[in-house]
Amino acid sequence: MIGLFGVQLIGVQQLGVDQGTFWSQLRSSVDWEDVREVSWKGFVFGIACSLIAVNEGFRAEPTAEGVGRATTRAVVNSAVLVLI
């Protein structure tokens, strides 16, 4: 939703596209199947990244350094998962 708002802001405010034309063309160009796919992808990635973070948190040493390392591992593993 934020991406759509940003595109609308640039298109209408910066480029001078008519707002009604913008939304009409957007509706005709975007298929609802694409919206569902993106929503599911975000949901699955959110759950997977949360599970990775929880797992790393449980395995962390109970020191500030251990928590820092676990956080770094969680971020790196989540990024690799999303890239794959």
Over residues 45-74, the pLDDT tens digits come to 999 999 999 999 999 999 999 999 999 999
Q: Give the position of tokens 């993106």.
A: 38
- pTM strictly above 0.95: no
Rounded Cα–Cα distance for residues 36 and 25 (Å): 19
Over residues 15-51, the pLDDT tens digits come to 998 989 888 888 888 888 888 998 999 999 999 999 9
Report pLDDT for 46: 94
End-to-end CA distance of the chain: 24
Report pLDDT for 67: 95
Report pLDDT for 63: 95
Residue 77: CA count within 13 A, CB half-sphere: 16
Report pLDDT for 30: 84
Query: Angle at CA 79, nearest 5°, toward 71 and 77?
Result: 50
